[in-house]
């Protein structure tokens, strides 16, 4: 058994799995605890920007993901009714050249599976629902719903928007419902008919108060995905998602362009998700515990950068732990927060405002970011 410091990662979502993979690459002694009984393939799409692809390069799965995903030539923004182009943001070759990696859209399940498979089997414990943690000063004791408990030297909370680790640091508090829901559907790409525009590889249709983002999730362009942002006053927080229907979609997008109507008519199954946020947290770590991703800064997905921020967090945390050493965890956590909080808050704010790439703008501060290359700033004394 290894005598090196034990790092526990709670949650094997996109953020937790990427963090664990990076820490293991650096030679750390890591174990991941995931409440789900096994890996589950969520039917959704996801954007993976060059800022994330550079991290996947380190993990060793960049090429495998690039082979599966769609490589859009551009992000288009279009008018909901006329289809007029409001913005065209070059991606494709431009992204490779200017941001240092590809811009992909992929099936979220394929991406998650590659990340989980990058971990040694013995490093992941499924069916471990963390119910309580105790920072005992010399270590942290984790209690699980199955009655077991395990200890670690430091604990990383990558356990999502309802994080137990966040609760241990800051007390119980429900996330805020953002007043918006998101419909999500993946289905075979429809055949083009009269009146429709050819499908853009990646497009966001905008009206004043709602949108529909559409893109392929495979390189073959045989599966297409849409995700919406629609205002809705009430949502019962006990439901993370609910079934939706074509009728609801027809009603919600009445009068929209024929291309959008065709997507709705060809939908096989559609669900709707609550969009949740939190105000920036007053602290990201205390004692031997630290937060990342949605546990720390959940946001509306309107910039398509939520998972990206979780993965960037994990990469920065791994960098800081390597630089400072696990035994100086307090300094490493402070360095991590100092180098992540501003960027994560900025992305949270733009996602909230839902302005990203609606008109032509330069996204290089976001896509060009390289977490391994930026100069680290020193934490301010508290
Ligand atoms: P999660 O993915 O929530 O993972 C948390 C993990 O912790 C889960 O596996 C969970 O089972 C586990 N867990 C929770 N509690 C416990 C416990 N007590 N014990 C053990 N395990 C536990 N982001 C993008 O970058 N691009 C996109 O295109 C995009 N589109 C989105 C569309 C929608 C509609 C939504 C809602 C979000 C979207 N996001 C997107 C955001 C993204 O999904 C999240 O920001 C991202 O999943 C956060 O990753 P995470 O690892 O922090 O948390």
At 100-140, the pLDDT tens digits run 999 999 999 999 999 999 999 999 999 999 999 999 999 99
Please report how many Cα atoms fall inside a 13 Å half-sphere around the Cα of residue 59, on the Cβ side: 33
In the chain, the percentage of residues whose pLDDT exceeds 90 is 95
Tell me the ipTM for this assembly. Answer: 0.98
* Closest atom of ligand 1 to CA, residue 296: 52
What was the pLDDT predicted at 382?
66
If you average pLDDT over residues 254-278, what whole number do you get? 97
Q: Distance between CA atoms of 46 and 320, rounded to whole angstroms? A: 27
What was the pLDDT predicted at 78?
98
* Closest atom of ligand 1 to CA, residue 144: 19
Is residue 215 part of the annotated active site? The answer reads yes
* Residue 157 beta carbon below 6 angstroms from any ligand 1 atom: no
* Closest atom of ligand 1 to CA, residue 298: 45
If you average pLDDT over residues 274-289, what whole number do you get? 96
pLDDT digits 0-9 by tens, 197-256: 999 999 999 999 999 999 999 999 999 999 999 999 999 988 999 999 999 999 999 999
Exposed, middle or buried: residue 208 (CB in 10 Å: 0-12, 13-18, 19+)?
Answer: exposed
Cβ contacts of 92 within 8 Å, gap of 6 or more: 71, 72, 73, 74, 103
* Residue 14 beta carbon below 6 angstroms from any ligand 1 atom: yes
In 3D space, the residue among 80, 44, 75, 79 whose CA is nearest the CA of residue 252 turns out to be: 80
* Residue 17 beta carbon below 6 angstroms from any ligand 1 atom: no
In the chain, the percentage of residues whose pLDDT exceeds 70 is 99
In 3D space, the residue among 29, 25, 102 whose CA is nearest the CA of residue 68 turns out to be: 102
If you average pLDDT over residues 331-354, what whole number do you get? 97
Q: Distance between CA atoms of 50 and 377, rounded to whole angstroms? A: 23
% helix, strand, coil for the chain, step of 5: 30, 25, 40
What was the pLDDT predicted at 355?
97
CA of 171 to the centre of ligand 1 (A): 21
Residue-level length of the chain: 382
Q: Is 46 helix (H, G, I), strand (E, B) or coil?
A: strand
If you average pLDDT over residues 277-288, what whole number do you get? 96
Say yes or no to pLDDT of 272 above 70: yes
- DSSP label of 70: B
Say yes or no to pLDDT of 303 above 70: yes
Q: Name which residue sits closest to atom 41 of ligand 1, judged by CA.
A: 306
Exposed, middle or buried: residue 93 (CB in 10 Å: 0-12, 13-18, 19+)?
Answer: exposed
Q: Which of 76, 215, 329, 336 is catalytic?
A: 215
Pocket test for ligand 1, best of 167, 237, 294, 303 (most atoms within 8 A of CB): 294
What was the pLDDT predicted at 1?
44
Mean predicted lDDT score pLDDT of the chain? 96
CB–CB of 206/77 below 8 Å? Answer: yes
* Residue 304 beta carbon below 6 angstroms from any ligand 1 atom: yes
If you average pLDDT over residues 39-50, what whole number do you get? 90
């Amino acid at each position: 058994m290894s005598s090196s410091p034990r790092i526990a990662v709670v949650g094997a979502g996109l953020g937790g799995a990427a963090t664990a993979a990076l820490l293991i690459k650096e030679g750390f002694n890591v174990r991941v605890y995931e409440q789900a009984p096994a890996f589950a393939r969520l039917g959704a799409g996801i954007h993976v920007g060059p800022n994330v692809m550079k991290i996947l390069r380190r993990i060793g799965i960049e090429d495998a993901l690039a082979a599966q995903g769609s490589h859009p030539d551009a992000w288009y923004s279009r008018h909901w009714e006329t289809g007029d182009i409001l913005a065209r943001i070059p991606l494709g070759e431009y992204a490779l050249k200017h941001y240092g990696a590809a811009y992909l859209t992929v099936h979220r399940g394929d991406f998650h599976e590659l990340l989980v498979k990058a971990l040694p089997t013995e490093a992941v414990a499924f069916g471990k629902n963390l119910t309580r943690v105790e920072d005992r000063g010399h270590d942290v004791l984790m209690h699980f719903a199955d009655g077991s408990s395990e200890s670690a030297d430091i604990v990383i909370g990558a356990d999502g928007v309802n994080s137990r680790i966040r609760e241990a640091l800051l007390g119980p508090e429900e996330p805020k419902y953002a007043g918006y829901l998101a419909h999500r559907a993946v289905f075979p790409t429809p055949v083009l008919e009269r009146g429709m525009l050819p499908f853009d590889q990646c497009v966001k249709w905008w009206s004043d108060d709602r949108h529909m983002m559409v893109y392929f999730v495979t390189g073959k362009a045989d599966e297409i995905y849409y995700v919406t942002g629609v205002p809705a006053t009430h949502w019962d927080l006990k439901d993370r998602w609910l079934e939706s229907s074509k009728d609801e979609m027809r009603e919600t997008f009445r009068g929209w362009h024929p291309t959008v109507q065709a997507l709705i008519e060809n939908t096989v199954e559609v669900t709707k998700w609550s969009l949740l946020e939190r105000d920036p947290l007053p602290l990201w770590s205390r004692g031997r515990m630290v937060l990342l991703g949605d546990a720390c800064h959940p946001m509306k997905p309107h910039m398509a950068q939520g998972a990206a921020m979780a993965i960037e967090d994990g990469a920065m945390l791994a960098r800081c732990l390597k630089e400072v050493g696990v035994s100086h965890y307090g300094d490493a956590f402070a360095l991590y927060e100092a180098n992540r909080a501003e960027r994560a808050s900025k992305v949270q704010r733009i996602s909230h405002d839902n302005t990203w790439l609606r008109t032509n703008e330069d996204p290089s501060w976001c896509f060009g970011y390289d977490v391994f290359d930026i100069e680290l700033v020193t934490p301010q004394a508290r």
